[in-house]
Structure 1
Amino acid sequence: MLATTLAASPAHAGRPSGPAVVTTDNETPVLYDDEQGGNASGDDPAIWVHPGDSRRSIVVVTAKEGGLRVYDLASRELQALPATAAPRPDAALGRYNNVDMAYGVKLGRQTVDVAVVSDRYNDQLRFFRIDPAGAAARTPLVEVTAPNQRFLFNPDRAAVDEGHSAYGLAVWQPKRGETYAVITQEGATTVATARIVEVGGKLGYTGVRTITMPRSFPLPDGTTWTPCDEPGALPQLEGVAVDQASGALYAAQEDVGVWRIQLPLTGRVAPRLVDRVRDFGIHDAYDPETEECAPIDPSDTGFGGTHLTADAEGVDVYYGHGGRGYVIVSSQGDDTYTVYDREGRNRPLGTFRVRGVRGVDDVNGSDGLAVTNRPVGDYREGLLVTHDEPETGPGVDESRDATNFSYVSFGAIARALNLRIDTSAGNDPRF
């Protein structure tokens, strides 16, 4: 297990005590996680920025057993891709959990952009080439996954079927010609990297390297705290994002907080816990009848932070010049988002929530999120896309498990929290 350092959770005088409110009137069509809806449960988005015409940029989201959806900047569905069987002899139908974008990947004699997806039911990565026309293309995504890719975390199919498989995902591109995926493991504390490579005219991966993050934590009162979960499950990580300039991996351990981990995964730099969830350190017990965890001592106040309510979920990086910018994390337990400084000790700069207007519902229980500082379409000050569950409002059958995604102007967030807007193309080194 890696050694860790815990950062303090400083208070900031002069900031409002409650979260700021920003609004959205743009959301994608509802997805239903039932047989009639194709078992489509929204989870994680990624934004692909068109290099020449920002209006042709697209948003790609995972819908788990429902596959992938591709939307334009007006949140209209352009393409629905089913979760197909992986290209391997022992394949299962896929479950697409998380997605991120890789720019400038070599494929044959071409340089292409690719949506990289974690396939939980096959414990592997899947790859989808993006048509350069983006939103103007007839079929924006085409799968280009090489056959017979190795399992990421498991030795064989029987172990994959136990469920502890590929989960969260982010792309890391440290320099031109090198692309890696960072992957977390469901129900475990393992984080892996794998280099994306061409295999016979398609894309695969090699060189899987793993580290194990903490599952228990020493507390100032002399006790040791282990986050409570169902039997057999460890405190997992899902939301991950890489600062492409510094190689810092920001990883949300759902019941613990947000980590900063230096890439590559050598272990030479100790991971640092940037912020803790509010109930960090509260000793719980699992009740098999209710299948819930509850405090052993109701008066236990723990040693948590003041910004995140478990689960800590989606993470992404907003780039600014000279190392400036922000790390945005969704706080699923209270429907808010916390913004951290990208520089230094990643001090928290404020929180916000998203309210729907003009027939759009408020964003609840956000899982994944994606942000870009680039002007895309009408979002001239950058765009945040966030998961929303449950989706409610006019026309939604609330008796079914409904999810979707909402689009929010980063400019609105910046004005609400007094943040800097920087839309320069050179901030994200992938572009």
Structure 2
Amino acid sequence: MSPRLLLAAPLAAVLAVSVPLTASARPSHEPRPPAVVTTGVETPVLYDDEAGGNASGDDPAIWVDPDDSRDSIVIATAKEGGLRVYDLDGVELQALTAEPAPRADGADGRYNNVDIAYGLDLGDGLVDVAVVSDRYNDQLRFFAIDGAGAAASVPLREVTAPELPFLFSADRAEVDDEQTAYGVAVWQPAGEAPVAVVTREGTTTIATVSLTTGDGRVGYSDTATLDFPASFPLPDGTTWTPCDEPGVLPQLEGLSVDQRTGVLYAGQEDVGLWRLQLPIGSGEPRLIDRVRDFGIHDVYDPESEECTPADPQAAGSGGSALTADAEGVDVYYGPGATGYVIVSSQGDDTYAVYRTQGRNDLVGTFRVAGVDGVDDVNGSDGLAVTNRAVGAYREGLLVTHDEPDTGAEVDDERDATNFSYVSWADVADALGLKVDTKPGNDPRFR
């Protein structure tokens, strides 16, 4: 039985679906050890406590300055700490607090994920806009990017339309239960309104909305939803449901859309990596790869609030590249029709790379080691990649979340996070990937 598609419908009951293993998910031999690339650039540490403004890094996006790539910027979410803007040296240019949403019942924000919509008409010319998911208001927030980028005195300013509807909740009381807007990605089909894809925390639901503009503001309309699977039949006749606390389903967060093809790549944290043709209703989700412990039955312990295997000797039916959680997802555009999907494997501090063509075969994995006083990248959540030459990164740039941030100047008694920069040339060399940095090769710049 195939996964069910639900258009503008409430969350379905737990789904039992059969998803065959793909070639990339079938480890036919012992996997190669991850390649090692390095980072020597990181952003300032963020601390998730009162003294640090409850700032916890999560997800980055890279804005490429089309006129002078040296002025490109990195925009990153810091949850209750708002947003941060960095230059290509990792220097903080702007810190935006998570102000209340522009609505009568607006609460202070919690910014979870970010992506970029290019070339929106706000009435006085085309503007690129950072699109941010706000968990505490169950909506999207929008920030216009100054065309001067890193050279601007104020790189971002909020342009969110007032009184936008909740994405998933019926009312403010349901918003306060916090099963709200989580991951986000932007799809810009040629000749059509841009679309934001948003996941819902603690559920398997995703939504798409069309972005709208007017009076210098950005909003959204035309919501459609889809529920991904929550349970899976196994070859032994049992049904496997990823373990979590009662009432919580295996959520999705990391998202990216291949702008060439309209294919959404989505990380379901405890399950694996999916692909889905957009718009919703065009096809069924297909599981590209599974986390290593897929199929291992766990038991939830309410005292420890942890899941442990019912049978410690049990073998799962997972893949070889992802260790839960499967987190950040983005697409690198190679020459011609080639490209790569990069996924952070949070459970073992590595990254998996898949082809965008064919059956999305696994190319390889890598980890990021720190040099020149920068620490190794651990427990990565969000990531972003560009194939464009930006500043000194002449073959593209990968930016990845790092948690916990460590080092001599980091207070290890506090919850410390930040973001690290990796030259894509190093990743491409390590895994034998194709590179094309020509502006016309990036479909986001039409």
The TM tier, using the shorter chain, reads: over 0.9
Alignment-derived partner of residue 312 in structure 1: 326
Cα deviations across residues 296-316 of structure 1 (Å, max 9, x unaligned)?
111111111111000000000
By how many angstroms is 1:427 displaced? 2.0
Match of 1:93 among 102, 108, 112: 108
By how many angstroms is 1:322 displaced? 2.6
By how many angstroms is 1:201 displaced? 2.6
Amino acid in structure 2 at the alignment position of 1:386: T
List aligned pairs for 1:141-160, cutoff 5 A. 141-160=156-175
By how many angstroms is 1:274 displaced? 0.3
Q: CA RMSD in A?
A: 1.2
**Where do 5+ consecutive residues of structure 2 fail to align?**
6-16
Aligned residues: 429
- SS of 1:411's partner is helix
Fraction of identical pairs, as percent? 69
- Residues 198 and 4 of structure 1: CA distance in aligned 2, closer, same or farther (over 3 Å): farther
Distance between the aligned counterparts of 2:431 and 2:171, measured in 1? 48
8 Å contact from structure 2 (residues 31, 320) kept in 1:
no
- SS of 2:51's partner is coil
Distance between the aligned counterparts of 2:249 and 2:442, measured in 1? 34
Amino acid in structure 1 at the alignment position of 2:241: T
By how many angstroms is 1:52 displaced? 1.0
The TM-score normalised by the length of structure 1 is 0.98
Cα deviations across residues 221-257 of structure 1 (Å, max 9, x unaligned)?
1111000001111000000000001000000000000
Distance between the aligned counterparts of 1:110 and 1:341, measured in 2? 36
| 2:74 is equivalent to residue 67 of structure 1 | no
Distance between the aligned counterparts of 2:115 and 2:163, measured in 1? 22
Cα deviations across residues 146-168 of structure 1 (Å, max 9, x unaligned)?
00000000110000000100000
- SS of 1:322's partner is coil
Alignment-derived partner of residue 347 in structure 2: 333
By how many angstroms is 1:323 displaced? 1.8
| 2:208 is equivalent to residue 193 of structure 1 | yes
| 2:208 is equivalent to residue 208 of structure 1 | no
List aligned pairs for 1:255-404, cutoff 5 A. 255-266=270-281, 268-404=282-418
Amino acid in structure 2 at the alignment position of 1:400: R
Match of 1:81 among 90, 96, 100: 96
Cα deviations across residues 32-88 of structure 1 (Å, max 9, x unaligned)?
000000000000000000011000000000000000000000000000000000000
- Residues 176 and 12 of structure 1: CA distance in aligned 2, closer, same or farther (over 3 Å): farther
8 Å contact from structure 1 (residues 389, 402) kept in 2:
yes
By how many angstroms is 1:199 displaced? 3.5
The TM-score normalised by the length of structure 2 is 0.94
Amino acid in structure 2 at the alignment position of 1:372: T
Match of 1:55 among 70, 75, 86: 70
- Residues 123 and 20 of structure 1: CA distance in aligned 2, closer, same or farther (over 3 Å): same
| 2:410 is equivalent to residue 410 of structure 1 | no
Amino acid in structure 2 at the alignment position of 1:183: V
Alignment-derived partner of residue 183 in structure 2: 168
Distance between the aligned counterparts of 1:207 and 1:52, measured in 2? 34
**Where do 5+ consecutive residues of structure 1 fail to align?**
none
- SS of 2:179's partner is coil
Distance between the aligned counterparts of 2:440 and 2:96, measured in 1? 32
Amino acid in structure 1 at the alignment position of 2:76: V
- SS of 1:361's partner is coil
